[in-house]
Structure 1
């Protein structure tokens, strides 16, 4: 590592003392593009190489949860709680709430694999079954969403025309999205126990209720200025649909916020400060903070995770600067000799801690960090 890189890394660590309440770093043997909460203190990760891959349930550092006397807490590292192996890539992974079951997809077909995470009597993650998708092959694999309450159901599909709700225990199809349009999906998400959103790569959004058969609500993509863009979508979750908002992010860095009841009509938008030279359908993500108002996170364009406050966005497009940037993956990757800088492959917000996030990068690094609001 060159002296300049050492200086950059050292400067960032000194800066992090003031900009982070907590920062913990972990190194996986192989990179992951999935980070999924299995409890408030454990997450699941898995490799995505073409050969044999590990599936791991990691326990977050206990020091992260020490309210007082953090310096006296001995456990400062991630710990492997459970582990297993799969012969295929893991491109998607979803935990079924209320169970010790996760569902995976290899990104090559629409079939799903079922896994038991083990418990107190076993540290082995083992495969227990599968769910057949409606297509034998797929260019991007199946998107997945888990129903928020029991009994265990999983929503899955690669295109808008093959989205279905399946009972995990029996494999029985319970619901099918009624549409003839075969739009490639970039997101599937339950916003409450019955209503879900299907975001498409072309910017279209479907909103449907699994209790009501028939055509879903379809909203077209945001008006464009001629650019051909991929779109990623996320909705805030709430028992009341009236308070849910949708954010759509394009590969050109344009973010559009709308009301879930009328996602086709923008209420605010902004041009984000992202590197649009490279972006992958599988790596870019945008996400509402679950416990922080008006805040969205963006990653996958580079080695950064960027946080934006949408409170000042207006209907007319404007340039938006990040509220906070996690540069840890970009800075530490300068130690590598492979030439290409690391890029963020996945990130998630903690479901309860307002400013705590996890992020993973292409160099196998996993960071958990609690950022300090610069305006407070």
Structure 2
């Protein structure tokens, strides 16, 4: 029996998507991106990661995505460029400073940061306005960042757990330095409040730090230091949880009031994709901001998986996704059957629309999608 061709696979997925998506919009960037950062409820920032000159764009989402009524499938290039500029190096990470028109970037190679003004009423040009000198030459990757706007815009940044700084962007002065002798590489930084942050390390260790006190940071040791770990934190009014995912697919849910313990666990499917494509980059895990007990994961394959944590138990049993977005893999194989399938390089949830996500892939595709609730079953 003849194997189905890529055109047939794409056709089958397109028919399937009519039932499984409320909305699906496809946009082709001129460059692949590793960053999708919200700058408002309607706009995002993306940027290229080539080693030379790269575009940095602020895009407005398709109007249909923002409308209250969503009907049918719409695959058209209807993102709108709002502001744009150029970076003379790679953009491996980008953080928007809440409440401002500022963004901070890092190239993934050094610990230095670049500060950008995203344009506004008088200009549609994104311009670089300042630099922040990092703590040391980066070992094994660039700086990790988190931004906050308390009395003034500030950015938390560092390469290792022992060199984290909080820098005020208006002056470039450090207003806090983490006093720790640990030299674990960071995988992410998270503000729990304006004064408290969490520093997560690649080996699974993480530190909870209160900048208001001279007390040393609280260290939680890894459950499996031989694996790589990634983390996200949910800090709603009645929700203080963190989720950790390892390179072996182990997922651990903890309460921030007792971070060393495990409320529940699961084993996520990993497959062979990361072994076949060692350059896939990091795994990304994100809490859904408005959908109860849901997380999203990318980096184990070319897809984005959605999981409900309500079915997880005290031991890590196999987890089945509620939904999988396979559009990047299918469309890239259909476009060029001889090329490797695209891998997801970034994804984010919409801050208010419960089932809406954006995802980007190594072929430059950018998707915004909203899946039907009926697809969960």
RMSD over aligned CA atoms reads 2.1
SS at match of 2:359: strand
Deviations 1:86-109 (A, max 9, x none): 110000000001111100000111
Deviations 1:224-254 (A, max 9, x none): 4xx83110011102356xx311111011111
SS at match of 2:245: strand
**Distance in 2 of aligned mates of 1:78 and 1:239:** 33
SS at match of 2:59: strand
The TM-score with structure 1 as length reference comes to 0.93
Q: Do the aligned partners of residues 282 and 209 (structure 1) sit closer, same or farther apart at CA in structure 2, a change above 3 Å counting? A: farther
Report the CA distance between 1:375 and its aligned residue. Answer: 4.2
Which aligned pairs between 1:224-239 and structure 2 lie closer than 5 A? 224=224, 228-239=226-237
Q: Do the aligned partners of residues 254 and 269 (structure 1) sit closer, same or farther apart at CA in structure 2, a change above 3 Å counting? A: same
Equivalent residue in structure 2 for 1:258, among 254, 257, 282: 254
Deviates more, 1:191-200 or 1:349-358: 191-200
Counterpart for residue 108 of structure 1? 109
Q: Do the aligned partners of residues 287 and 269 (structure 1) sit closer, same or farther apart at CA in structure 2, a change above 3 Å counting? A: same
Counterpart for residue 304 of structure 1? 303
**Distance in 2 of aligned mates of 1:142 and 1:35:** 17
Counterpart for residue 314 of structure 1? 313
Counterpart for residue 177 of structure 2? 176
Deviations 1:6-26 (A, max 9, x none): 111111111111111111000
SS at match of 2:259: strand
1:27 correspondence with 2:28? yes
Q: Do the aligned partners of residues 148 and 366 (structure 1) sit closer, same or farther apart at CA in structure 2, a change above 3 Å counting? A: same
Counterpart for residue 64 of structure 1? 65
Deviations 1:278-308 (A, max 9, x none): 1668431111111111111000122100000
**Distance in 2 of aligned mates of 1:322 and 1:3:** 25
Asked whether the 8 Å contact 1:47–1:89 carries over to 2, the reply is yes
Q: Do the aligned partners of residues 69 and 35 (structure 1) sit closer, same or farther apart at CA in structure 2, a change above 3 Å counting? A: closer
**Distance in 2 of aligned mates of 1:365 and 1:265:** 39
SS at match of 1:121: coil
The TM-score with structure 2 as length reference comes to 0.93
**Distance in 1 of aligned mates of 2:330 and 2:301:** 11
Deviations 1:81-133 (A, max 9, x none): 11111110000000001111100000111110000111122111110011111
Counterpart for residue 88 of structure 2? 87
Equivalent residue in structure 1 for 2:268, among 272, 275, 280: 272
Report the CA distance between 1:276 and its aligned residue. Answer: 5.0
Asked whether the 8 Å contact 1:296–1:308 carries over to 2, the reply is yes
Asked whether the 8 Å contact 1:32–1:361 carries over to 2, the reply is yes
Structure 2 residues without counterparts, runs of 5 or longer: none
Q: Do the aligned partners of residues 114 and 3 (structure 1) sit closer, same or farther apart at CA in structure 2, a change above 3 Å counting? A: same
**Count of aligned pairs:** 369
Which aligned pairs between 1:1-376 and structure 2 lie closer than 5 A? 4-68=5-69, 77-147=78-148, 149-222=150-223, 224=224, 228-239=226-237, 243-278=239-274, 282-334=281-333, 335-337=335-337, 339-373=339-373, 374-375=375-376
**Distance in 2 of aligned mates of 1:149 and 1:40:** 20
